[in-house]
Chains A and B, each alone.
Chain A
Amino acid sequence: MIKLIQTYSPMILGALGNTVLLCLLSLCIAMVIGLLVALLNVSRNRVCNFFGTVYVDAIRGVPLIVLAYFIYFGLPAGVKSIGQGILNSGLSGVMGGFGTSCVNFRLSAIQAGTAALSMNCGAYMAEIIRAGIESVDRGQMEASRALGLNYSQSMRLVILPQAIKTMIPSIINQFIITLKDTSILSVIGFAELTNVGKTIAGNTFKSLEAWTIIGIVYMIVIITLSKVAKRIERRLKND
């Protein structure tokens, strides 16, 4: 086991780096998606509500692994056939360049992985942010509007700063879930922890040791995160 760690530690550390990178990148994008979708969902405009709800329902209705396959394999295949369609049609003269780049369209594992994880996490984040906004007393918005502030000023200066406080524990929880969900992206060949675990187990035939090590690495990262989360939560409560 020691020997295995010695041999593979650079690979494991690299994979850990990839995992954390993918997770952080996806979370940042997911925060933006989540905020936008949450704003659609709390808006009084029915059309906005519709698109927000469709996004959340669609993404939550599809397992992450299917979404990852769809983006990694399905999307390029779709774009490719559109490109071929353009090249084979009379449009190739005007849009030939575009057609060719469609045919050559490919997504790297990290691009597809980030997209899938961001979209997935974004839907859950949207629900967390929506609940946070709705937890703020309605009177806060009314008081702000009555003073003459418009909707977005009220949201930005009064509602969101208060909503964030209630959201933080759930956001940290989502952070941990997303970190674990990165393992699902091993299926599209992204060299994150689980994927590297497979490689090590395959190369050495030492499944027990390999998966024990990978499990422990996940555990260390996640337990550390949880502890940090607890501390932040406690500090917020004392405020």
Chain B
Amino acid sequence: MTSDKVMVHVDHLKKNFGALEVLKDISVDIHEGEVVVLLGPSGSGKSTLLRCINQLEEATAGTIVVDGIEITDKHTDINKARENIGMVFQHFNLFNNKNVLENITLAPTTLKKCTVEEAKTRAKKLLDRVGLADKSEAYPSQLSGGQKQRVAIARSLAMEPDVMLFDEPTSALDPEMVGEVLDVMKELAKGGMTMIVVTHEIGFAREVADRIIFMDGGYIVEQGTPDEVINNPKEKRTIDFLNKVL
């Protein structure tokens, strides 16, 4: 599935929160169609890296290029660039004042990507794809965690992004609902979506990831195929981490 085209290019990225250096020097290329899983202990900077890629966190130094657009450049229209970068959050963040259908159609219609009718048709197709065709009129408060997260994925897909970022998408879910969300993500990966996933689901990483990046202390410690990183880790910090979570 992976092509030669670099979809996300991160070059010497640094991110500080005040005096705290969260990302110290990150350089990585992610190719079109690649599924990359970021692993690492909490506080290692995984989520921050993800949030830098769509500039929810402004990079302190370094460059990030997504699909040919340098999003760390001050002159870039960041709103336009974000249309191409989907993001799924740990706490779903569905718009509580809108029903499922409105959640999905809000961005495409407001940003004039298509007409209201087209947006609705597309939203219904997406809901069908995530297995929630019957929930289009429901409000977020009426959905289970797993359903909310599937709607959130559909909402991101409605903008037809070329890259999807997943920030611990299953961490806030009851165990029995993790599977339904991972299944949707697996389908997405099979369809050739470029995905960057922060997760603690080692099973998912092993099965779906093309590459695993292990981070600690603001650096990339080790990266490679799931077999290399999970089954035969070389770095001590990776081994320690895997011993704790496996």
Contact = CB atoms under 8 A, between A and B. Distances in A.
A, B assembled together: yes
Interface of A: 137, 139-140, 142-150, 153, 157-158, 161-162
B155 A147 contact: yes
B93 to A, nearest CB: 4
Contacts of A150: 79
B82 A145 contact: yes
Interface centre among A143, A148, A161 (most CB of B within 10 A): A148
Given A148-B107, A149-B107, A158 B79 contact: no
Nearest to B156: A147
Contacts of A162: 95-97
B91 interface: yes
B242 interface: no
Contact of A147 (B92, B96, B107): B107
Contacts, number: 60
Nearest to A158: B95
B56 interface: yes
Nearest to A139: B93
B80 interface: yes
B77 to A, nearest CB: 9
A148 B111 contact: yes
A147 B155 CA distance: 9
A140 B111 contact: no
A107 to B, nearest CB: 42
Interface residues of B, number: 25
A153 B96 CA distance: 16
B159 A147 contact: yes
Contacts of B97: 158, 161-162
Contacts of A144: 95, 107
Contact of B93 (A143, A153, A157, A161): A143
Interface string B44-62: 0000000000101000000
B89 A148 contact: no
Contacts of B94: 143
Nearest to B107: A147
A58 B230 CA distance: 61
A12 to B, nearest CB: 44
B111 A149 contact: yes
A146 B152 CA distance: 12
B6 interface: no
A145 B152 CA distance: 14
A142 to B, nearest CB: 6
Contacts of B184: none
Given A143-B89, A148-B83, 15 more contacts: A139-B91, A142-B93, A143-B87, A143-B94, A143-B152, A144-B95, A146-B86, A146-B156, A147-B82, A147-B106, A147-B155, A148-B111, A149-B107, A150-B79, A162-B95
In the A-B complex, the 10 residue pairs with the closest CB atoms: A148-B83, A143-B93, A139-B93, A147-B107, A146-B87, A148-B82, A161-B97, A150-B79, A162-B97, A148-B79
B53 to A, nearest CB: 10
Contacts of B95: 140, 143-144, 158, 162
B106 A145 contact: no
Contacts of A157: 106, 110
A146 B110 contact: no
B93 A140 contact: yes
